[in-house]
Amino acid sequence: MKLLLAPMEGLLDHTLRDMLTRLGGVDLCVSEFIRVTNTVLPRKAFIRVAPELLNNSRTPAGVPVRVQLLGSDPSCLADNAAALAELNPNGIDLNFGCPAKTVNQHRGGAVLLDEPELVGQIVAAVRRAVPAHIPVSAKMRLGFNDDSRAEDCAQAIEAAGASDLVVHARTKAHGYRPPAYWDRIADLRQHVRLPIVANGEIWTVADAMRCREVTGCERLMIGRGMVADPGLALAIARHDAALSGVVDGVVASANWAPGQSVAWSQIVGLMGMFWVGISQRVAPRHRAGRLKQWLNYMRRVYPEAQQAFDQLRLVHDSAQIETWLSMQNPTSTP
């Protein structure tokens, strides 16, 4: 099984990508989208969202990063993809899944799924503009208001030359409400040959195994589940290896617990590094909010995160956050 870390606008930026890939288990990341309108963006615009471009398109832990573009003009997207290609990204991904109202109102993201022909034109234009060695992939939902054109969109993306396709198993109308309709991904696999990556409602090792069983996909993309449980990809990878009798190259022992997450002490170590990272580029008044945003997700998995969130909920001063972090004294760090 291959595990991909999802793009999440306003949350899963390069600093958090760095933290989550340090724990292991992630095979590939996709950046948050870069909005393309009517001009070719400067080099710094790509690097701002994906500074990994300065590190051979990899996170500090060595995990490859694809850079995602969002827009509706095939020609302008192609020109920007060509400019991005000069930075030698691991790949270029195209966003047909963003459900944000403001994005959709400007003909970006999931709203394009009502126009499969345009979706295909965008992918084809970008594919032609990018050197053959750079993969061009796409991410889509099942549709906008309904999933009646899901097969049309998937086929258009395949015909246009995409290397692979991530499918978030919900429509825009579904938002992020459970469930994810994994069975529809299985349907799509009957209509296209390109590799499909399943995405949506993967919070645990059991979810990952069930998603693979229902969809038939050997590649999964995880977003919120990884933010909530930073060790999830590693736990899934170890469980998958244990099913084959091998973990990290050795036969699994009888007392090894598949699906076990990382210790809270490691998470605290990551939070300290995360704070250093965001302090280098985020205004002081917003730094506390970024840390609490991550803690809010981790409350789902870690009781300690709930305690930390309660302690910091009303704290906005960076100095107080730094004092709190220094008092945690983690016993181990990644």
Which position among 29, 76, 98, 153 bears the catalytic label? Answer: 98
From CA 54, how far away is CA 22, in angstroms rounded? Answer: 18
Half-sphere exposure of 253 (CA within 13 A, CB side): 4
- Which residues, at least 6 apart from 324, have a Cβ–Cβ distance to it below 8 Å? 308, 311, 312, 315
Residue 98 designated active-site: yes
Closest CA to 87 of 45, 146, 122: 45
Question: Which residues are annotated as catalytic?
Answer: 98
